[in-house]
Chain A
Amino acid sequence: MLLISCPNCGSRDETEFHYGGQAHVPYPENPTELNDREWAEYLFYRDNTKGAFAERWLHSTGCRQWFNMLRDTVTYDIQAVYPMGTPRPAGPSTSATSITAPEGAIK
């Protein structure tokens, strides 16, 4: 169980929150000019980061407000909680760099 610090309500259980996927995915400036592949990439293609990952969360059973969170997908360490619309903070060095890939994973 993660303890997530909601900016409004303080530390609450993970079960009170709803995951909103990757943060900072901009809406295309001219959606009508996209071809099918670009549109599909905007809609469905997301990073699969190993390490610090910026994502959106909703405190659905609390204040019902969205916020952004910088979370390490390896260690689950929550590095920053920041409001929607603000740029991603420069987090500490990610643990991904220190974790060596299993042998044969990189070809």
Chain B
Amino acid sequence: MANTAALDGINGLRDIRRSPASHLAAALEAGSVQGTVVLQEGPFQTMAAVRVEPRSEEGSRIASVAGGLPARSGEVGGADGTSVLWLGPSEFLVVAPEEAHDSLGGDLIGSLVAALGEAPGQVVDLSANRTTFELTGPRARAVLEKGCALDLHPRSFTPGTALSTEVGNIPVVLQKTAEDSFRLFPRASFADFLGRWLLDAMREFASPEVP
């Protein structure tokens, strides 16, 4: 299934592909405050929605391909750069780097489909459904807390967990990848609004602190 030539771009289509927040790239760079809070878009990740009963036989086949399914809200499964986010008791979102997509030489979607087989459930390629914002820096939590009702304090929201919730009234999956490092997965149509909302929330940290 490996097709190394495809990585150069499928007939040039890869080069003309635009991510949902690509028009904000300059604004994201200008609005980021190095060492305080930095916002970037990490576009084109391979994503697959999986609906399968995790305790069933097909569930364990999917788990072996994806690197483990999370058992409850907040947990993140997966291995080797692949994250499996919990969306519901039998609903998961598999997030992998762009190269894992079948059209670029990977085999993630195909192997998930093959693992499910004819069993009840579904595997859908949702790579274009959501984009990824990466919010990092010591004030990243302060930015998110302006629009997220969850308790984001490290004592309850620990690295390696993900919760589906609302940030700035936008439904997102919020993943904490490390201390002071978050990934937000908004749907593509909300990327523009959420990007601008985050920039606005970050703006105060560009100014010197008022004593």
Contacts and interface: CB of A to CB of B under 8 A. Distances in A.
A16 B88 contact: no
A65 B149 contact: no
Given A8-B72, A10-B73, A13-B149, A63 B87 contact: yes
A90 interface: no
B97 interface: no
Interface string A89-101: 0000000000000
A106 interface: no
Interface string A1-19: 0000000111011011000
A32 interface: no
Contact of A61 (B72, B73, B91, B171): B171
A24 interface: no
A83 to B, nearest CB: 11
Nearest to A3: B149
Contact of A8 (B73, B150, B165): B73
A64 B163 CA distance: 13
Interface residues of B, number: 13
Contacts of B73: 8-10, 62-63
B89 interface: yes
B138 to A, nearest CB: 26
A62 B162 CA distance: 11
| Prevailing SS type, chain A contact patch | loop
A interface bracket (residues with beta carbon within 8 Å of B):
10 to 19
Nearest to A65: B88
B166 interface: yes
Contacts of B87: 63-64
Interface string A64-95: 11000000000000000000000000000000
B88 A63 contact: yes
B166 A8 contact: no
Interface of B: 72-73, 87-89, 91, 149-150, 163-166, 171
Given A64-B87, A65-B88, 20 more contacts: A8-B72, A8-B73, A9-B73, A9-B163, A12-B149, A12-B165, A13-B149, A13-B166, A15-B166, A16-B165, A16-B166, A61-B164, A61-B165, A61-B171, A62-B73, A62-B165, A63-B164, A64-B88, A64-B91, A65-B89
